[in-house]
Structure formats: C-alpha cells, structure tokens
Amino acid sequence: MIILKYTVLCLFILASTIQIFYYLFFYLQLKNQKKTSQKKQLPLSVIICAKNEEYNLSKNLPKILNQDYTTFEVIVVDDASDDNTVDILKKLEKKYTNLRHTSVPKSNRLKNGKKFAQTLGIKSAKNEYLVFTDADCYPVSNQWLQKINDSFLQKKEIVLLYGKYKKNSGLLNKIIRFDAFFIAQQYLSFSLRKINYMGVGRNLAYKKTLFNKNKGFASHLELASGDDDLFVNETSNNKNTIIEISPDSFTESEPKKTFKDWINQKSRHLSTAHKYKPFHKFILISEPLSRILLLTIIWLILLNFNLLLLLLILLTVLVVKFIIFKKNLSILRDNDLLLYSLIIDFILPFINLLIFINLKFNKHLKWK
C-alpha cells in the first residue's frame, strides 16, 4: 500500500511539474515579434480554395479585396462547386481587377480534395509570396496584408498567424474558440522557442519556392488534411519562420453550429498527427497527458494522503495557468474566455482522446 501511495504521488507531482514547465517555459513567452511597418510592399498572392461557398465568398471576399495594400492578387480556386460559386466570382471579377479564379474539373479521377485545389492555385499565382485563408474567413483589419508583408521583409519564408473564430452565444462556441486559442498558444509560443510544428490554413503565408522545393504536398497527398500543419512541419526550421500576432493580422471564421460538425472538423485536423516528427509528437502528447494525470489527486485523497499538501500543489498549478491564460487571451483578443479557461482546458484532452479513438475506425475523411 505504501509503494502504491507514493507511486501515485510521484505521478501527481510529475504531472504538476510538467504543467508548470510548459506554461513557464513555453506559453509565458508568447508575444508578437516587433516589426516596423515598411513602405516597401512585396507582391502578394492570396489563395482561397472554395467548394460550394457562394454565401461566404460574397460576404468575405470584399474584405480581402479592399485591403489597404497596393500590390496583390486574389486567386479563388473553385473546387468543382455545385452552387453559384462561379457566378459570384465572375460578378466580383468585374468590380475587382486583381481577382481571378480557376476551377477544378468535375471528374471522378481527382480525389485529392483541397490539396489538389491548393496546388492549382499556387501554380496559378504570379507572385513569389503566397497568403492562404479559407472562404469562410475574413481579415479583421484592412492592414492584414501589410502585417504579412512586414514579416516577409524580415527575410523569412514562413509566416505563422492566428485564425480565430467568431464570438457567438452558447457553450459550444466557447469550447471551439478556446480550443483554437489554445492550439494557437501552442504553435506560436513553441515557434518562439524554435520549435515550429504547424500553422493553420485559415491564416498562413509562405514562399512559392519553398512549396516547389518541398515538392508540394507529395509526402501526405493521401490525407484529407495537412496542407497547412504538415507542410509547416516539413519545411520550417529555426531560421526561416516568424510569427505575427498583432490584432490587425488576425482572421476570423464562422464556427461550427453543432458538436457533431465540430468533431468532424477536428477529426480532419487531428488525422495528420501521426505524420508529425517524433519529437513534436512527444511534446504535444506530454502536456495534455499531464492534465489528465492531475486526476490522480482523487486517488491520493482516497489513500488519505495529506489533503492540505495536495491542494497546495494543485492550487499552484491552477494559479500559474490562470495568470498565463489571462496574459495570452489578452494578446489574442479572447479575454471573455478567461472565466471558462480552466474548465475547458481540463475537458479538451478527453475530447481529443475520443477523436483519436474514432479516427482508428473512421479513416474516410473529406475536406468538404
């Protein structure tokens, strides 16, 4: 019994130590890398893949096309849509001379989904510097492209940015937004520690020569996802990547309305995890696992361990997390999530675990 008691105690202390380490060593470092707004403007190509997106394109494209930026084009790749997507694009092209579109043929031979469409858009781009977002996303500021330009002028090949979700009512909305915040907190703060493992396609930029040098998405073409995170995982290094998280650089997306739709979306995103580098897998698994292992406090209480000591350790962990959540939620302009942060933070590892289990039985995922 004594051996069991102290084994469980060691697990609890280890979990607490891992939590504090991640928050102090990684997440506390989150801050924007200072850049001066430059007069020089690089020619940019914004690429958007769209499948049955007539509503989102008519609503969001003008916010991209009206950026306070002079040298950019917008390419929309229509991925064999069945709605009025092409009609909307043709109408907008009459008004905006820097907008053009191309289409993926409706053919049973083309089963690579978004990656085929994305590759088609990249090949069509006239410029070296590429910016990616989705049809259901829009920049929150007309300075979005300027911020990306300033990052590229730091002699970088990849720019990692934040793609947030729109604030709506309801618990699901808070979970979705906090999940997006937490993922961003991870990949952005890890990048500041020279660990670049992913980016999000809702808001990402990189050079065309980097894409060609990597042979595009060839190494993971069979997966429905990976055009963003796996590409960054393969091509990013300590010198070629920069983060940009000033509020003007954010994009915002409409979140899913049902838990089922959100789970399907997250399943696509998490389906790429097995392709990550071994070290990245280790650091990404260790932190949520330690969150789960904090539950060993219940076992220790049942074993009649010193309750005051246990609560003191747990309180220390929670206070550290809460303080850093407050700081980073403020940086990423999601302050209203603070009161829910510790609860949702505890729930998410179990949701992700269920998704990973589901992925073992459901391998037929599509981007649309």
204: domain CATH number is: 3.90.550.10
C-alpha distances out from residue 294 to 11, 17, 28, 287, 355, Å: 8, 10, 21, 11, 21
- Give the whole-angstrom CA distance, residue 79 versus residue 98: 20
Give the domain range for residue 203.
Answer: 44-268
DSSP state of 205: E
> Do residues 119 and 212 share a domain?
yes
322 lies in some domain: yes
Mean local confidence (pLDDT), 259-264: 90
Q: Which of 205, 228, 47 is nearest to 122 (CA)?
A: 47
Residue 71 confidence class, pLDDT cut points 50, 70, 90: very high
Contact of 60 with 137, CB cutoff 8 Å: yes
Provide φ and ψ at 279, rounded to 5°.
Answer: -65, -40
- Give the whole-angstrom CA distance, residue 72 versus residue 248: 18
Paired tokens of 113 = 């989904």
As for how many domains the chain has, the answer is 2
273 lies in some domain: no
Strands (E), the chain: 44-50, 72-79, 99-104, 129-134, 137-139, 158-160, 163-165, 204-207, 241-243, 251-253
Residue 2 confidence class, pLDDT cut points 50, 70, 90: confident
Q: What is the pTM of this model?
A: 0.93
Residue 270 confidence class, pLDDT cut points 50, 70, 90: confident
What pLDDT score does 265 carry? 87
- Per-chain mean pLDDT for the chain: 92
> Among 246, 268, 290, which residue terminates a domain?
268
- Give the whole-angstrom CA distance, residue 19 versus residue 92: 50
Mean local confidence (pLDDT), 117-132: 96
What pLDDT score does 226 carry? 81
139 lies in some domain: yes
> Do residues 99 and 240 share a domain?
yes
> Among 226, 243, 268, which residue terminates a domain?
268
> Among 223, 247, 268, which residue terminates a domain?
268
Strands (E), 91-245: 99-104, 129-134, 137-139, 158-160, 163-165, 204-207, 241-243
> Do residues 59 and 137 share a domain?
yes
Burial of 148 (0-12, 13-18, 19+ CB in 10 A): buried
368 lies in some domain: no
Element (H, E) at 91: helix 85-95
> Do residues 105 and 149 share a domain?
yes
67 lies in some domain: yes
> Do residues 198 and 123 share a domain?
yes
pLDDT digits (tens, 9 = 90+) for 31-61: 988 777 778 999 999 999 999 999 999 999 9
> Do residues 24 and 48 share a domain?
no
CA angle centred on 70, ends 66 and 73, rounded to 5°: 70
Contact of 310 with 297, CB cutoff 8 Å: yes
Tokens 């300590």 locate to 238
Contact of 224 with 367, CB cutoff 8 Å: yes
Residue 225 confidence class, pLDDT cut points 50, 70, 90: confident
- Give the whole-angstrom CA distance, residue 115 versus residue 228: 10
53 lies in some domain: yes
pLDDT digits (tens, 9 = 90+) for 140-151: 999 999 999 999
> Do residues 95 and 70 share a domain?
yes
Tokens 């940009």 locate to 244
> Do residues 182 and 242 share a domain?
yes
Least confident of 77-81, 88-92, 128-132, 189-193: 77-81
> Do residues 20 and 50 share a domain?
no
> Do residues 64 and 150 share a domain?
yes
CB burial string 80-114: b at 16+ within 10 A, e below: ebeebbeebbeebeeeeebbebebbeeeeeeebbb
102 lies in some domain: yes
9 lies in some domain: yes
pLDDT digits (tens, 9 = 90+) for 333-356: 999 999 999 999 999 999 998 888
pLDDT at 110 over 70: no
What pLDDT score does 109 carry? 46
Contact of 114 with 52, CB cutoff 8 Å: no
Tokens 């399943």 locate to 267
> Do residues 287 and 201 share a domain?
no
> Do residues 171 and 48 share a domain?
yes
